[in-house]
Structure 1
């Protein structure tokens, strides 16, 4: 996936359909941030198709540049906040302080990354079958580590065993993608976004509700993770 504009469009439409199914099966207000994730992933992929077309000369340069900006705004400004918020919303009240720390960290990371995007310059180039995004980041390596910590950390400290397990898998997936191709990490992650979207939708569709409207698993309230 993410190997061409056509594949990005297909990925966006499929993930979007999964996201609509997830939203349709929201049982409580606390599940809404989680259900929103697949829709955000879908928009992200559709926007990247616009980046492809701009780089290939099929769209006006201004349109392609706007698509680059929106794509990075979602990756850098939205996801590091939305992911820990979605996980924390489903945690027992007594444990939300732990995930709250990752929301604060994600907010800090988002501000720093978006400052770099707004300040510029940003550049996107086609490298084979992926797009490489180049942003002039202040201490980019450290910000990358903090980004992964913010998005995976909330999963790893969750009160729910299956969420912590997904956090481990999620972290491993990020490390593998970075090892395979660090320059294309932002673009290639859509494979994992699709897998995660299906997992979220399956949880919201099939997890049995409890009397209070939440979800239960083996006698405990359940949440579903992100990538």
Structure 2
């Protein structure tokens, strides 16, 4: 988990396995699939970063792929996924994280299209840079879109995941300021096991056979 190529590969593979289980559990509930697939996305993200490690950073295809997932994709994926599964009473308040996600994703996508993303190996973490001129508003929008959507979801399991993601963000800022995003994505990936529990709890109970079914049998 951001310590080495091997750690990223192992974590990514394990999280992808969790993602496969989540998607399998949610296969009959299309609205749940975007959220259930989040561990697959985060696990793949860690595997991609293992390639960045092995290439000693730089500006290659793996660096760009990592940045596309972390920057414009995640702040849009999460609020849309939460909106799909949120109870009706929570949908109006989720418009704020959705709007923040759309705006943040648009800004980051523009920067990725007009700037070169670079990755630098810094001790036991990877730092990424792409020339963002005013990062503070973008970081706020990113946090509202990702963590904010989870905390406002009105769903216990997603709120728990949001709390873990918020704790991961605080740890990342405290320990690795320059490599914040890379570290936070790894911690969010490790927390994906919470989503497996969430998916299983949403599985409809098996239908008990009725008296008519027993007679027909």
Same fold at TM > 0.5: yes
Deviation string 1:117-159 (CA, Å, 9 cap, x unpaired) is 2211322110001111012113112211111111111122222
State whether residues 124 and 133 of structure 1, in contact with CA within 8 Å, keep that contact through their aligned partners in structure 2: yes
Equivalent position of 1:33 in the other structure: 34
For 2:45 and 2:198, how far apart are their aligned partners in 1? 22
Please, which of 187, 190, 194 is the counterpart of residue 195 of structure 1? 190
Question: Are residue 81 (structure 1) and residue 73 (structure 2) matched?
Answer: no
What is the CA distance between 1:88 and its match in structure 2?
Answer: 1.4
Which of 109, 115, 118 is 2:113 aligned to? 118
- Higher radius of gyration, 1 or 2: 2
Provide Cα deviations, 1:195-215, integer angstroms capped at 9, x if missing partner: 32111112212445269xxxx
Which consecutive aligned stretches of 4+ in structure 1 deviate over 6 angstroms post-superposition?
A: none
- The Cα RMSD (Å) is 2.2
3-state SS of paired residue (1:55):
coil
TM-score, length-normalised on structure 2?
0.86
CA distance 1:11–1:161, change in 2 (3 Å): closer
Gaps of 5+ in 1: 212-227
Choose 117-126 or 165-174, whichever is displaced more. 165-174
Structure 2 residue runs without a partner (length 5+): 207-217
Conservation of the 8 A alpha-carbon contact between 1:133 and 1:184: yes
Residue 194 of structure 1, CA deviation: 3.1
**TM score, norm. by length of structure 1:** 0.82
Q: Which residue of 2 aligns with 1:5?
A: 5
Deviations along 1:11-55, one digit per CA (max 9) or x if unpaired, are: 111111111011110041111011110010111011111211222
- 1:44 and 2:6 aligned: no
**SS at structure 2 position matched to 1:98:** coil
Where 1:172 maps in the other structure, the secondary structure is helix
- Determine if the alignment matches structure 1 residue 18 to structure 2 residue 18: yes
Q: How does 1:1-227 map to 2 (within 5 A)?
A: 1-26=1-26, 27-55=28-56, 65-207=60-202, 209=204
Partners of 2:116 and 2:65 in 1: how far apart?
14
Matches of 1:161 and 1:19, distance apart in 2:
20
